[in-house]
Every structure is written in structure tokens, then in C-alpha cells.
């Protein structure tokens, strides 16, 4: 995804926000229908039926009719892709989009090619019903069939072209690496390296806490509240930028250093690692929060979303060289002797084998098991799943 800072005029900003509103309205309508389906298990409307409903909604609401139909249809298509990604296990469940947080829409097809270079530093995109909006050329504009326009929480506008990065050749030595999504670090490699995605610093966390407390005291709709919210948004935006940067660097590095990259199969991971709720002793019927969740705290979003983003990028850059391994028992099995027991896990961070005494960082142990490609199930060995070589999935909107 290559992203450029966009500088719309005040009038264009208003027009862009209007399109964002339409896309959000349509998306949320789809979320509502889908969530009703998961509750009642009735038939869920498919894309075609949803399009018909969109036509009806446009007939009923003049404000929606004023918008661009293709943008609204694209929001539906994006939603359907998001649902598919969710069932594939690579993405989180699609959720409601909120004002000021989720401001964006996507342009696909011939409209997306209306981009011109103005001079060395500036280019412009012709956005339907908005006009030519200028953006800063921080690098060359990639060939892309679609782009997304988005406003972040601090009010910065960006245009992002959905270009899939070129594959990077591997070293050709046959080097294999296992990558485990860690609890204490973002990713552990079977080489023993621990990679940490930069999260919020101590001072940033403190500031966030302080701002959130202040926000709670602000009266709704006040100027002060808006200012505090903007400051919070800035913190999140900065963390997001850092995370993206880390993902690009890490995926490039791994694709360059190793010929085969084995990661856990998220689809299976989702089933095996689903939080097992423990009944709360104080309040029967209620559940204690999941440990991994509670631990992650502020880093939660980074850990959860960062992983999917890293795997997606790896699949693009190390094209056809990413293999997915069943992660069952990788955290309980000794990478040295193969003994599998829940007692092997001395703590969240340390692995110590009860049979051979092998002691190592728990995430590294899991990464070595993943690198070996053995689906260390107690009963059977499961073959590894190779990622498709052709047509990598376009990244869905990363909010
Ligand atoms: Zn052992």
C-alpha cells in the first residue's frame, strides 16, 4: 500500500467527508444485516441482494442518492470481502464504522486511473463529485486498479493505492525459518531472534491514560473535548505509522534472508487458541477476561492486527514461499526431544521440558516447532498448507 498525503481544499474536504458518510452508512447497514444473521441463523443477503437494497435505499433517501453509486457499491463489496477474510481466519470480525474514526472510501475501476502528475512534487486524483484533489508526491505513484481515500483521526487526508509489492527473491540456500506470534514479543524466530513491533512507549502510555481521564471529565460537545480527542487520535496515529513501518521492514528482511517461511495457520489458530472463558468465582455466570487479552492491554490492537498484516505482506514479498503450519501443541512440545506436555510451559515466557530439561524462550521453542513444519498434534501429523502462488489477495481496508 503506498500512501500519499492529500491536501484537499476546504470545499473538497466537505465533499470528501460526505462520500465517507455514505460509504459508512452502507457498510453499517451490511454489518447490521450480517449480525442479525449470526444471531438467528436465517438466510443472509448476498451481495446481489444487498445491491438491490442499496438501490431501494437510494430511492428512499435523497442524501444517499446525491452520492456516488460506485462508491456505495464498493463499500458493500469491501464488506463482503471482510466477511470472507473473517471466515478464512486472517482478519478480525468486521465491525461498525464510526464517525470521525472511520472516514474513508474506495474508488475502483476506470475512475481510479484518473490520476495526473502536476509537477515534480505534486499530483492530483479526480475523485467523483469532488474534483481534482492534490496530493504530495513523496515517491512514484504505483500502477494500481484502485485507491482508498482516508482521513485519519488527526484530520490528515491520505490517498493509498492498493499496489501489491513486488516479490523479493530469496537467498537460494534453502534456509527455513519458523515465525511464531509471541505473547511477550511480537514475533519470535526459530533462529532465536525476538522481534518487537514498537508499541506505545511508557511515556505515551502514561499520556494516553492521562488524556483518557481528562476526556471523561469533559462535557459532551465541548471544544475542550474535541481538543483532547484530537490529542488521543494523534497518539494512535503515530503508533499506527510505526507499526506499518515495522511490518514493511520485517517482511522484507525475512523474505530476503529465508527461502521458506513457516507461520502458524491462523485459521486453525483461531480454533485452537480461542479464549477458554473461566467462570468467575465471585459472580457465577460471568467470565473472567481472557489472559492474553488482558496482558496485551494497550498493545492489543498492535499484536492482533500487526500479525495479520505481517503475514499478508510476507505472502506478497515471499511469493509462494510462505507455508502455513497447524499450530496445535507447538507451545507445549519440546523442540529438542519432542516431548509434549502442558507442564513444559514453566511460565508465559519460559519453556522448560519436563523430560529432557531443555530450557528456552517459550516463543522461540514454538517457532522452532513451526520451522520443523511438524504439526505436533498428539495423534496425527498434518501436512503444511502452501500459500497460493498466484493472485495474492488484495489487502482489505486496514482501519
Ligand atoms: Zn525435551
| Residue range 304-331, pLDDT digits in tens | 557 778 888 899 899 989 998 887 888 8
- At 266, the pLDDT band (50, 70, 90 cuts) reads low
Instruction: Give the domain ranges of the chain.
Output: 2-161, 170-198+234-399
Question: Is-contact 261 323, C-beta < 8 A?
Answer: yes
Q: Name the strand (E) or helix (H) holding 80.
A: helix 69-88
- Is the pLDDT at 283 greater than 80? The verdict is no
C-alpha 331 – ligand 1 centre gap (Å): 12
C-alpha 226 – ligand 1 centre gap (Å): 56
Q: Mean pLDDT over residues 79-103, rounded?
A: 81
Q: Mean pLDDT over residues 62-71, rounded?
A: 85
C-alpha 355 – ligand 1 centre gap (Å): 5
C-alpha 336 – ligand 1 centre gap (Å): 5
| Residue range 120-133, pLDDT digits in tens | 899 999 999 899 99
C-alpha 334 – ligand 1 centre gap (Å): 5
C-alpha 369 – ligand 1 centre gap (Å): 12
32-41, 59-68, 313-322, 361-370: least confident range: 32-41
Instruction: Give how far the C-alpha of residue 349 lies from the chain's centroid of Cα atoms, to the nearest Å.
Output: 25
**Rounded Cα gap, residues 338 and 357, in angstroms:** 12
- Is the pLDDT at 41 greater than 90? The verdict is no
C-alpha 261 – ligand 1 centre gap (Å): 24
- Is the pLDDT at 282 greater than 50? The verdict is no
Residue with cell 507451545: 331
Residue with cell 474506495: 106
Average pLDDT value over all residues in the chain: 79
Question: Is-contact 76 54, C-beta < 8 A?
Answer: yes
C-alpha 338 – ligand 1 centre gap (Å): 6
Is the whole model's pTM more than 0.95, yes or no?
no
DSSP string of 106-121, one letter each residue: EEESGGGG-EEE-SSS
Residue with cell 510476507: 314
C-alpha 374 – ligand 1 centre gap (Å): 15
- At 196, the pLDDT band (50, 70, 90 cuts) reads confident
Residue closest to 301 by CA, chosen among 399, 165, 387, 187: 399
- At 238, the pLDDT band (50, 70, 90 cuts) reads confident
C-alpha 354 – ligand 1 centre gap (Å): 7
Amino acid at each position: 500500500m503506498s500512501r500519499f498525503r492529500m491536501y484537499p481544499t476546504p470545499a473538497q474536504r466537505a465533499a470528501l467527508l460526505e462520500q465517507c458518510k455514505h460509504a459508512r452508512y452502507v457498510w453499517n447497514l451490511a454489518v447490521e444485516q450480517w449480525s442479525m444473521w449470526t444471531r438467528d441463523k436465517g438466510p443472509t443477503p448476498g451481495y446481489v441482494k444487498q445491491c438491490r437494497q442499496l438501490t431501494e435505499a437510494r430511492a428512499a433517501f435523497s442524501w444517499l442518492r446525491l452520492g456516488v453509486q460506485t462508491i456505495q457499491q464498493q463499500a458493500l463489496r469491501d464488506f463482503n470481502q471482510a466477511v470472507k477474510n473473517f471466515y478464512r481466519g486472517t482478519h478480525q470480525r468486521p465491525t461498525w464504522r464510526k464517525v470521525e474514526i472511520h472516514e474513508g472510501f474506495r474508488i475502483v475501476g476506470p475512475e481510479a486511473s484518473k490520476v495526473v502528475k502536476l509537477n515534480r512534487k505534486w499530483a492530483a486524483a479526480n475523485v467523483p463529485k469532488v474534483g481534482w484533489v492534490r496530493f504530495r508526491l513523496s515517491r512514484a505513484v504505483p500502477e494500481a486498479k484502485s485507491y482508498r481515500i482516508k482521513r485519519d483521526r488527526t484530520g490528515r487526508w491520505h490517498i493509498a493505492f492498493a499496489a501489491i509489492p513486488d516479490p523479493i527473491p530469496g537467498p537460494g540456500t534453502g534456509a527455513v525459518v519458523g515465525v511464531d506470534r509471541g505473547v511477550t514479543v511480537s514475533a519470535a524466530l526459530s533462529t532465536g531472534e525476538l522481534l518487537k513491533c514498537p508499541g506505545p512507549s511508557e511515556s505515551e502510555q502514561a499520556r494516553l491514560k492521562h488524556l483518557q481521564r481528562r476526556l471523561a471529565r469533559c462535557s459532551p460537545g465541548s471544544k475542550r473535548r474535541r481538543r483532547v480527542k484530537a490529542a488521543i487520535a494523534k497518539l494512535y496515529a503515530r503508533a499506527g505509522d510505526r507499526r506499518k513501518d515495522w511490518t514493511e521492514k520485517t517482511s522484507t528482511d525475512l523474505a530476503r534472508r529465508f527461502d521458506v517461511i513457516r507461520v502458524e495457520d491462523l485459521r486453525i489458530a483461531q480454533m485452537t487458541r480461542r479464549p477458554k472463558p473461566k467462570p468467575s468465582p465471585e459472580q457465577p455466570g460471568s467470565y473472567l477476561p481472557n489472559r492474553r487479552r488482558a496482558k496485551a492491554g494497550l498493545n492489543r490492537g498492535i499484536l492482533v492486527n500487526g500479525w495479520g498484516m505481517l503475514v499478508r505482506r510476507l505472502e506478497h514479498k515471499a511469493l509462494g514461499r510462505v507455508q502455513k503450519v497447524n499450530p496445535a501443541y507447538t507451545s507445549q512440545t519440546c523442540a529438542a526431544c519432542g516431548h509434549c506436555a502442558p507442564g513444559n510451559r514453566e511460565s508465559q515466557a519460559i519453556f522448560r521440558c519436563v523430560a529432557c530439561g531443555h530450557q528456552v524462550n517459550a516463543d522461540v521453542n514454538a517457532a522452532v516447532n513451526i520451522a520443523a513444519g511438524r504439526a505436533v498434534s498428539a495423534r496425527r501429523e498434518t501436512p503444511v498448507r502452501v500459500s497460493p502462488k498466484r493472485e495474492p489477495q488484495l489487502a482489505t481496508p486496514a482501519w
